[in-house]
Structure 1
Amino acid sequence: MKTLSFFRLVLAVGLCLGVGALGSLVTTPQIPTWYAGLVKPSWTPPPAAFPIAWTTLYVLMAVALWRLWQLHAPSPARRLAIGLWLAQLALNAIWSPVFFGLEAPGAALVVVVALWLAIAATIWACLRIDRIAAWLLVPYLAWVSYATTLNAAIVVLN
């Protein structure tokens, strides 16, 4: 049982960090070029802050998924929570290619609003079965709230 638990944790962390790594492949080349040329609000963090924040959030997200997967028996509530968790991760995965890859902040704003809603729904679903998993996602919702305002400001300023 401990081997299965560890495997699930490694898989969850790998899934989240993998999404982050794929996003960085699209993002990193654009930072000194296209992104540097955008008008950004004064409260934009330095580029070095993003990988630190996202790595931390991806680990918290992974632990939340692990808790749902490992600590709770299959049920409709668990299936809903994991399904919403996967939906938010998919939206997370497409934001960077839309914003940076397509150079489309307006379209990315639509994606990040959908992401925010998916995270909020995931937290709500988690609260029904695992309060710790839900709370692990709260910093993520806070960061995506901030990222949404930043994305919106970039749309307005450019």
Structure 2
Amino acid sequence: MKRGTQISGFLGWLAITFAAAALGAWASSSAATFYTTLALPAWAPPAGVFGPVWTLLYALMAVAAWRVWRERGWRGAQPALRLYLLQLAVNALWSWLFFGWKLGALAFADILLLIALVCATIVRFARVSRIAAVMLLPYLAWIVFACALNYAVWRANPALL
């Protein structure tokens, strides 16, 4: 693959991934304020932790997708990359369900689906690039933690979620 094509692809996967992040962030514009009104478990991180963590995770995700695309191109990696795109959409939807529409139960169902999709994406990525699959492991760990937090916050705040 030519260097110019690789660079364009890299920028494309960054753009796609951070567009999904922006869509989720749009729903989360008042998240920091809302988060402080919630009854939180003692193990909940401060609101300021989420932005930097998600930025790092989205960067890792984009590089992982790019590595898979670079190895096989769209045609050769289509099943893996379609799963990646689907999990991005489900990820963005979570912010709307939890912060935008305050639907805690649906947000919890969404994040369970997200975990399954990310696991499937990791398996598919591993068939193309083990490094790309490993790059998604911090994301998986974070969303498993977020799932537990989602559940705890939803159950502790029935009037708000």
* TM-score bracket relative to the smaller structure: over 0.9
Deviation of 1:124 after TM superposition, in Å, equals: 0.8
Superposition map of 1:57-136 within 5 A: 57-73=57-73, 74-75=75-76, 78-136=77-135
In the other structure, the counterpart of 1:42 is 42
Asked whether the 8 Å contact 2:83–2:120 carries over to 1, the reply is yes
Asked whether the 8 Å contact 2:71–2:128 carries over to 1, the reply is no
* Cα root mean square deviation, aligned: 1.2
Structure 2: tracts of 5 or more residues without a match: none
**Matched residues, percent identical?**
36
Asked whether the 8 Å contact 2:35–2:47 carries over to 1, the reply is no
> Which whole-Å CA distance do the structure 1 matches of 2:49 and 2:64 have between them?
23
Deviation of 1:16 after TM superposition, in Å, equals: 1.3
> Which whole-Å CA distance do the structure 2 matches of 1:46 and 1:18 have between them?
25
In the other structure, the counterpart of 1:7 is 8
TM-score, structure 2 length as denominator? Answer: 0.91
Large movers: runs of 4+ above 4 Å: none
Deviates more, 1:22-31 or 1:59-68: 22-31
Q: What amino acid is aligned across from residue 3 of structure 2 in structure 1?
A: K
Q: What amino acid is aligned across from residue 59 of structure 2 in structure 1?
A: V
Q: What amino acid is aligned across from residue 40 of structure 1 in structure 2?
A: L
In the other structure, the counterpart of 1:22 is 23
Deviation of 1:28 after TM superposition, in Å, equals: 2.4
Asked whether the 8 Å contact 2:40–2:156 carries over to 1, the reply is yes
Q: What amino acid is aligned across from residue 98 of structure 1 in structure 2?
A: L
Deviation of 1:68 after TM superposition, in Å, equals: 1.1
In the other structure, the counterpart of 2:136 is 137
**1:112-145 Cα shifts (integer Å, max 9, x gaps):** 0000000000001111121011001000000000
**1:81-131 Cα shifts (integer Å, max 9, x gaps):** 111111111101111011011011111000000000000000011111210
Structure 1: tracts of 5 or more residues without a match: none
Asked whether the 8 Å contact 2:13–2:65 carries over to 1, the reply is yes
Deviates more, 1:13-22 or 1:101-110: 13-22
> Which whole-Å CA distance do the structure 2 matches of 1:17 and 1:37 have between them?
28
In the other structure, the counterpart of 1:148 is 147
